[in-house]
Structure formats: structure tokens, C-alpha cells
Amino acid sequence: MEPSIERAAEHYRAGRLAEAIAECRASLRTAPRTADALNLLGAALFSAGDDGAAVEPLREAVRLQPGHASALTNLAVVLQHRQEWAAAERSLRTLLVLSPELAFAHSRLGSILKETGDLAQAVRHLSRMIRLAPPSAQDWLNLGLVRLLNGDFAEAEDAFRRTIAHTPEGAYAHAQLGEIWLRLGRLKPAAVAFARALCLDPTLRGANDGLARCRHYATAAMARAEPTEPASAASGGFVMRGAFTSHTGYGHFCRRLIQRLRRDAVPLQAIGILGPDSWPEESLDRPVPARAVVNCLIPLATERVPGLATVTFSMFEGTCIPSAWRRQSALSDLVLVPTESSRLAWEAGGFPAERLRICPLGVDPEDAVREDAPAPTLVDPNGQLVSRYRHRFLNISDFIPRKNILALLRVWLRATAPTDDAVLILKLGKGGGDTAMRAELGALLRLAEEGAGKRLAQAAPINLIDRSMSDIAMTGLYRAATHYWSLSHGEGWDLPMCKAGAMGLTLVAPRHSAYVDYLDDTTAHMIPATVGPALLPGGGYYPPFHGLDWWNPDEDAATDILRDIIQGDSAPKSARARLLERFTWERSAARLLAILDEAGLRG
């Protein structure tokens, strides 16, 4: 090693990072193609907190010397820290070609594969790491968490037990054992595990939540075994668990079903997804004699109650559920889904058809006549009132790749001009003006401009809303629009689309997934779509859909449909009558009760 590099290494080992960086740069001025100096510079910059500047010297070191193990290792660490998963994975795979038995590389690669959604391969590499070197408590914990996500409950339990054997004072592993046992309906050991976790760390909120669920489930189990009400008064009851306090699609449909069932005087014990959830309308801790628990949740969050049947009410937005979902669904006696698309996804994943039932969701017709939800005053980027435009297209989406916002923006740029009497109202995210989301949206807008070959200023205006809004304000937002438009890659139901249709907006939707259950060419403008891999715009699978397919709406067809609407060349269409007749929450609740009755799961 050259003297200057040796001095830089001494500074680095002593923690004198600024001096190490200066020495490396001085050396590179005289010998710019020195892989050792570039590697050390990248390591020092990363240690100094400048991960952005660290990437290029490390990449250059690998370009100069592809087998430089230290540079490959450091590059992978930096890229993982920056959440550049695909590039980090490539570096580690190259490192493993050079050193197949390197436990560190298997550990890092397993962690990265967990983030990209490749759970089976993450398990393989983390398991390989444990066989290659004496595992630490953290190694066992990481393996347990991935196995839990993958639905390997017995193997996850073993990993968490080994974590505790290494560090008995680790509260988190005890809590994870409790989570597994709740999924399996083992209330007593789950309560012991959560209590132990709280003794070790009284601030561990997940353990408190787990204990609360244990108490709720115990009361439900006791009510089933020893009903305290006369049979005639208690007949027909069941337990419903869900995220009813959250601003999510699952939360919304769980709330609506509970409200409808309460209105119909159906005996019901409601339990929140966490356990100590509050319900503003009444006390939740009201056990009723029941034969089943309906979990309005994804399979991973479904939990069993001893003595009661387990029903999962869920949905999926692709053509086939992940293998982890199939393993987790196996713990349910019945799986309810809202559409034929989701039913086919469960069947394609290997779930038994005889344990699947379709229960459509509902729409919110009462919102159309709410007098306390006026349309908001919106101003476009040019200072013009949005209400002045004849065609006001609305899209309400979580800011996630499945919603296909990039294509939505690209089609808008291609389809419109500044002279058009049209505006796009785009409501993204749950609100709060997240800085990271705005930066990501800015990058997405630049990609859309490149893809369309046009700048934003050359298209009709886009009115972006990223602030939090109340339910009343959201209803007013629908009133501000004339059309509702989606280019989603797949939907389990799409509550905003249904609400927009029920409120009389003209709908533009892809011809795939849930949309074909309640829309057709007579009620909406339907965009053709093809099936393809669930890939991100920059490459690689969308993690929740790793290795699976979703739908790709035809952007050319969408462009033509928007142009025809704006130019007045398309006939008016309305889904309002169909949605209000066939898809009410009253019908949804009645169908749910009928399914439970047919299966003998109500008292």
C-alpha cells in the first residue's frame, strides 16, 4: 500500500475522517485510477455521513477492479443504506460469486431481499448465513421476522426462541412469539409472552396491544362457551375484527359493515386490529355469543380465537396471491373476497375453491345529498378557479406504484393542451405534505414529461392536493369534479371509484380486476388492459407483488378516451343507477350474514 494510502487508513481507523478523506483525495490527484484509494475514500465519506458522495468512488473502484472484495462490500452497505435495493443486491451477488461462503454477504443479501419482497430467497440466504458462522441474536431475530412474513410460523417460532436463548432480556423477540401464538389461537402462551416483554420493556407498545387482544379474544371465547343471554336474544351474533379506526380501504369497509349490522340489530363484538382501539359510537368490550370471528384484514394480520371459526375478509389486486398469503390463508375456515377477480387470485394461488365466497362491498349514496359537504374552492397553478373548467377529472390514490400515477400523468400530458377546457385534480397520499413524497412526485413528473415528450406547461393544468382532509371535505372534493379516472394496475374494489359513480360522476376505468364486477361499456369509459409482470418504472418487482402479475392499462387507448371526452365526441355514461341498486352496504351486510348462515357460523 502506498504511503499516502497507509496514512489515510491510519486516520480512518483512528476516526479522523476529515483527514482520511483529504489524504485519499490527495493520493487520487496523482494516481486517479487507484482502487484502494477510491474504496477508502468511499468508506470514509460514508462514515462521515455523506452517503451520496460515497457511492461514485466505490463504484469507480469496482469498475477498475471488479473483484475488489472490500469495495464490493462497502458499495453494498452504502447502497443498502440509501435503499437502492437492486444495485445493492447486484454488488452482494458479485461478492458471493467471489466468496460463496461469506456469511456477512448472505446476511446483507437476505435483508435486502426481504425489502424487495423475495421472501423465499431472503429465508434461504439468512438460513445459509446461520449455517456458515456462529449466529448472533440479531441474526436469529432477522430470520424469524422474515419467516413470520413468509407464513412459516413453526420456523419463525424456533428462530425467536433461539433469539431469546442468546439474549433473554430482549423484549421484542418475546413480543414476536406472542404475535405468532395469536395467529395460531394459543391465547395463554401469547399472553405470557406479551407480559414477559412488558416486564423487560414497559414502553413496548406492541406488547400492550397484544395483551389487549388476548383479553378481547378470551372474553369472546368465554361468551361462546357460556352465553349469558337467552338464546333468542343472542342468536346470530359473531365477532368482527378490523382496522376500523384507520383511514384505509379496509378501515372504511369494516366501519361501514359494522354500522350497517348495528342498524340491523345484529349482535356483534367489534375488536380493533391493535386491541385497545377506540370506537366513537359505543363501547367495544361487549362480548356476544358467537361461532365465528370475521377478520376484515389481509391474511398476515388474521388471528384465531379458540373455539370460534376463523373467517378472513380480504382482497388482492393481482392475478395470483403470493405464496405467503396462501400459507397464512390456510388458517382460515373461510375466505371472503369482494369480487370474482380476487376469488380467481386465491384459486390461482392454490387455496381450495370450496372455502372461498364472494361478498361485494358497498357504495356511500348518502354522501350525494350531504348538505354539510360543499365543493371546496380550488385554484389551479395558473390562478384560475377549478370550477370554471367544464371537464374536471379527479383521482384519489395512495402514493404507491400500484396506483400507476406515472402513467396517469403521462397520459394527461399526451391527451391535453393548455387550451382545453379541462383540469386534473390529483389527491395523493393520506395528507400531511410529506417532503419525501413531494420529492418523489417531482421525480415522477420529470419522468412523465420525458415519456410524453411534453412539459407540464404544454398540457391542461394539474391541481395537486397532498394535505389531510376530513371525510366531509373528501365528499366535497368529489362534488368539485365531473369525472373520476383511474389507471391503476389492479384493484380489490376501489372505494373512491364506487363513491364517485354513486355521486353521479362519469367514470373512466381500466377493464380489469374489480372494475369489471360493477362497470362495463354501458356505464363507464373502459380502458383495455393486458396482464404483465408487476414491475416498477425503474425495473424490478413491486415488493408486495414479487414474482407476480398485474394489469397494464393501454395508455394509447386512455389518451384517446380523454381526448374524446374533452372534445365532446363521446356519449355520456353513468354508473349511478347500477351502483345504487346493486352495491349498497345493506346488501353487502346481508350477503355477509347469508354466507355465515350457510356455513353454520352464526348462533
Q: How confident is the model at residue 275 (pLDDT cuts 50, 70, 90)?
A: confident
Of 136, 162, 177, the domain-final residue: 177
Q: Are strands 268-272 and 391-397 parallel, antiparallel or unpaired?
A: unpaired
**What CATH number is associated with residue 573?**
3.40.50.2000
> Any idea what the Cα angle at residue 596 is, between residues 591 and 598, rounded to 5°?
90
Measured CA to CA, the distance from residue 78 to residue 122 in angstroms comes to 19
Amino acid 24 reads C
CATH number at residue 133: 1.25.40.10
In angstroms, the Cα distances linking 601 to 309, 315, 478 are 7, 21, 39
* Per-residue pLDDT tens over the stretch 396-453: 999 999 999 999 999 999 999 999 999 999 999 875 556 777 888 888 999 999 999 9
Contact 312, 351 (CB under 8 A): no
DSSP 534-590: -B-TTSSB-GGGTT-EEEEE-HHHHHHHHHHHHHT-S-----HHHHHHH-BHHHHHH
The pLDDT confidence band at residue 106, using thresholds 50, 70 and 90, is very high
Kindly give the pairing relationship between strand 549-553 and strand 529-533.
Answer: antiparallel
Q: Which stretch of DSSP H or E encloses residue 432? A: none
Is the whole-model pTM more than 0.95? no
Q: What is the DSSP string of 26-45?
A: HHHHH-TT-HHHHHHHHHHH
- Cross-strand pairs, 312: 295, 335
Shared domain for 126 and 70, answered yes or no, is yes
Q: Are residues 344 and 381 in the same domain?
A: no
Q: Please choose, from the candidates 126, 90, 87, 123, the residue with its C-alpha nearest in 3D space to the C-alpha of residue 108.
A: 126
Q: Which three cell numbers stand for residue 341?
A: 377477480
Q: What is the pLDDT of residue 281?
A: 62
Return the C-alpha cell found at 312. 378472513
**Band (570; pLDDT cuts 50, 70, 90):** confident
Mean pLDDT across the chain: 92
558 and 592 belong to one structural domain: no
Q: What is the phi/psi pair of residue 530, to 5°? A: -120, 155
How many Cβ atoms are within 10 Å of 303's Cβ, its own excluded? 24
Q: Could you tell me the strand order of the sheet in which 422-428 lies?
A: 462-465, 422-428, 391-397, 483-485, 506-510, 525-527
pLDDT for 233:
40
pLDDT for position 104: 93
Strand segments, DSSP code E, in 96-164 are none
Residue 7 lies in a domain: yes
Largest CA distance in the chain: 91
Residue-wise pLDDT tens digits, 276-310: 887 666 566 578 899 999 999 999 999 999 999 99
Coil, helix or strand at residue 323: helix
**192 is a domain residue:** no
Instruction: Give the pLDDT confidence score for residue 371 in this predicted structure.
Output: 63
Q: What is the pLDDT of residues 88-97, one digit of tens each?
A: 999 999 999 9
Angle at 193 between CA 113 and CA 161, to 5 degrees: 50
Using the 8-state DSSP alphabet, how is residue 401 labeled?
G
Assigned domain for 518 exists: yes
560 and 592, same domain (yes or no): no
Half-sphere exposure of 123 (CA within 13 A, CB side): 16
The per-residue DSSP string of 364-393 comes to -GGGGG-TT-PPP--B-TTS-BGGG-SEEE
Please check whether residues 154 and 264 belong to one and the same domain.
Answer: no
The answer to whether residue 504 is domain-embedded is yes
> Do 425 and 559 belong together in one domain?
yes
CA distance 234 to 289: 6
* 197 located within any domain: no
Q: In this prediction, what percent of the chain has a pLDDT beyond 70? A: 95
Q: Do both 267 and 390 map to the same domain? A: no
Q: Are residues 376 and 352 in the same domain?
A: no
Q: Say yes or no: 550 and 445 in one domain.
A: yes
Question: What single DSSP character describes residue 308?
Answer: S
Looking at the structure, do residues 374 and 350 belong to the same domain, yes or no?
Answer: no
pLDDT of residue 231: 44
Domain around 250 = 209-362+586-598
Counting every residue written for the chain, the total comes to: 603
- Decide if 69 contacts 94 (C-beta within 8 A): no
The verdict on 278 and 323 lying in the same domain is yes
Tally of CA atoms within 13 A in the half-sphere of 121 that contains its CB: 14
Is residue 285, in this structure, part of any structural domain at all? yes
Using one digit for the tens of pLDDT, what is the confidence trace for 203-256?
Answer: 998 999 999 999 999 999 998 755 454 444 446 789 999 998 888 899 999 999
Query: Is 191 part of any domain?
Result: no
If asked whether residues 408 and 549 sit together in one domain, one would say yes
Is 199 domain-assigned? no
The tally of domains found in the chain comes to: 3
Residue 285: its pLDDT value, please? 59
Alpha carbon 217 to chain centroid, angstroms: 27
Q: CA-CA distance, 20 to 47, in Å (whole number)?
A: 11
What is the C-alpha R_g of the chain? Answer: 28
pLDDT at 74: 97
DSSP track, 176-195: HHHHHHHHTT-HHHHHHHHH
